[in-house]
A = this chain, B = another copy of it.
Amino acid sequence: MTEQVLRIIPLGGLGEVGRNMMVYQYGDAYLVVDAGLMFPDSSMPGVDYIIPDIQFLLDKVDRIAGIIITHGHEDHIGAIQHIVEEIPAPIYATPLTRGLLEVKLARSGLLSKARLNTVQAGETVQVGPFQVEFFHVCHSIPDGVGLGIQTPAGLIVHTGDYKFDQTPVDNWPTDYARLADFSQRGVLALLADSTNSERPGWTPSERVVDQALTQVFSQAKGRIILASFASLISRMQQVANAAAQFKRKLAFAGTSMVDNFKMARKLGYLDIDDQLIVNLDQALNLPDEQVVIMCTGSQGEPSSILGRLSTGTYRQFDIQPGDTVVLSSHPIPGNEENVYNTINRLFGRGADVLYEAIAPVHVSGHASQEEMKLLINLVRPRFLIPIHGELRHLKQHARLGQQMGIPAENILVAENGQSIILHQDKIELGERVPTANIFVDGSGVGTVDHDIMRQRELLAQDGFVLISLVFDKYSGSLVQTPNIFSQGFILNGEASEIFDEVRRRVTEKVSRSNGNMQKDVEQLVRNYLYEQTRRSPRVFVQVARV
């Protein structure tokens, strides 16, 4: 009989930021933690988002004992509708996280299919052979949890996203006692968030934002427009508090913001007076100095409300001089350009713009280096597995672990798909499982593969030139001059002389070619165009015989 070991299979979030998903396997049973999405970078044109590849799980769906969601951010819940379609296992989440899952699942018509279970921080749930203890963690959304996972092979601590905020907005600090308790029982492995492993010191408390907002509200002369994530529930509370203090009414713009506000309020996660809230129409009819509007778009997404305000294309109102716009957010890596373009455009429309670089209107929700060290000292694990982050973040987390005295051979930096085997006395890499990037683009077809993505990238470089040849099917000779169609290459005006010459050369080539005519023509055109323009458009040759 083979040794019963614990295997950990990372399907997302290792070697990248986002689409977090971790699978624990003991014997024949599987436990899934999180089901997130990742936003595309510039090498993925046209992609809406990226989800984990669950191919590895598809022949094991009846052995998946449960799915646990640690908190309600998109990089932890965003793939849930895709997962629910394939995996019928029960889902466990705290009330707010469950509320956000319900809003999302309802939109894709899958709410009835999902087996949702509410758990509270502090509770323990038996999920197959895994005894899962939920402990509260602070993060930039309320009701986040980390997990103590007692397995026959040992106790695992899985932090999810966390920080050690001593003065969180909801007055509910991370559960230090439980972490210390775990260390008493002996922790085999710690899987901990690496997002901020490059940041020295401590992440400031969410309360810092209160002071910044007080400053903003006390100085703004006109409307205040504050952009944030729709899921940043604690920011809603902070803005509402400032609004009450400075006698402004609060309105929300955008469906996701309104939906989440209503849900969080219903569940008791927001303590906001009825009198304070108005709808957007009412807000726009109040005097400017009595209004604050919260909206989405803090990542500079062109189609978001803030994005459209910055280009003057939002249907309901326009930015006007005197407006104060606050971006209460940190640019997600890869979004910097969009964010700064949006800020520049808002300045261009006369708004005063405040953002993280020049005012503390946002703080991170992730632990910095000193917190990561405190965590290690609290938990005292035998093995350390850095999770959540690009390779550079995981490596830096590993360096910190070594500085804390964990032997190098007890720290394992893995990437998506590299399964990890935990023995009592050693940790090692196991087999690889498939982990493609599953691109979601539109809804009809589902996913886009790498070939398509590569085609798009090449098209974007220098456009394309398509040569259409129509031959007489009997004589084999051209029925008409080669037709040229081109996009994204050069302007028709500039092109006419070059294209005339292409037509001439192709006609000549065709009459003489006795090998692969299509390939020959492609090569000829490609070479000639490069020679003339130093550009390399895609060249396609289409042949019809009539």
A430 CB → nearest B CB, Å: 19
* 18 sample A-B contacts, Cβ–Cβ < 8 Å, listed by A number: A333-B336, A333-B340, A344-B390, A347-B395, A348-B415, A441-B462, A442-B535, A445-B490, A452-B489, A455-B487, A456-B462, A459-B460, A460-B460, A466-B466, A480-B544, A483-B544, A487-B540, A544-B544
Most B CB within 10 A of own CB, among A333, A443, A538, A544: A544
In the complex the two chains form, is B460's CB within 8 Å of A45's CB? yes
Compute how far the CA of A45 lies from the CA of B462 in the bound complex, rounded to whole angstroms. Answer: 8
In the complex the two chains form, is A392's CB within 8 Å of B463's CB? no
A177 at the interface (CB under 8 A from B): no
Count of A residues near B, CB < 8 Å?
Answer: 66
- Residues of chain B within 8 A of A527, CB atoms compared: none
A349 CB → nearest B CB, Å: 10
A353 at the interface (CB under 8 A from B): yes
Report A340-364 CB contacts with B as 1/0, cut-off 8 Å.
1001100110000100011000000
For window 423-466 of A, CB contacts with B under 8 Å fall at 441-445, 448-449, 451-452, 455-457, 459-464, 466
Report A471-487 CB contacts with B as 1/0, cut-off 8 Å.
00000000110010101
Query: How many identical subunits does the complex contain?
Result: 2
In the complex the two chains form, is B462's CB within 8 Å of A460's CB? no
Compute how far the CA of A333 lies from the CA of B290 in the bound complex, rounded to whole angstroms. Answer: 37
In the complex the two chains form, is A391's CB within 8 Å of B348's CB? yes
In the complex the two chains form, is B441's CB within 8 Å of A459's CB? no
A479 CB → nearest B CB, Å: 5
A256 at the interface (CB under 8 A from B): no
A267 at the interface (CB under 8 A from B): no
A47 CB → nearest B CB, Å: 10
A396 at the interface (CB under 8 A from B): yes
Compute how far the CA of A510 lies from the CA of B460 in the bound complex, rounded to whole angstroms. Answer: 31
A151 CB → nearest B CB, Å: 30
- Residues of chain B within 8 A of A391, CB atoms compared: 343-344, 347-348
A542 at the interface (CB under 8 A from B): yes
Compute how far the CA of A340 lies from the CA of B15 in the bound complex, rounded to whole angstroms. Answer: 11
Compute how far the CA of A493 lies from the CA of B99 in the bound complex, rounded to whole angstroms. Answer: 39
In the complex the two chains form, is A491's CB within 8 Å of B452's CB? yes
In the complex the two chains form, is A538's CB within 8 Å of B487's CB? yes
Given contacts A198-B357, A445-B490, A452-B491, whether A546 and B479 have CB atoms under 8 Å apart is yes
For window 114-163 of A, CB contacts with B under 8 Å fall at none
Given contacts A46-B535, A535-B46, whether A15 and B452 have CB atoms under 8 Å apart is no
Out of B46, B462, B463, B546, name the residue touching A462 (CB < 8 Å): B46
Compute how far the CA of A333 lies from the CA of B415 in the bound complex, rounded to whole angstroms. Answer: 28
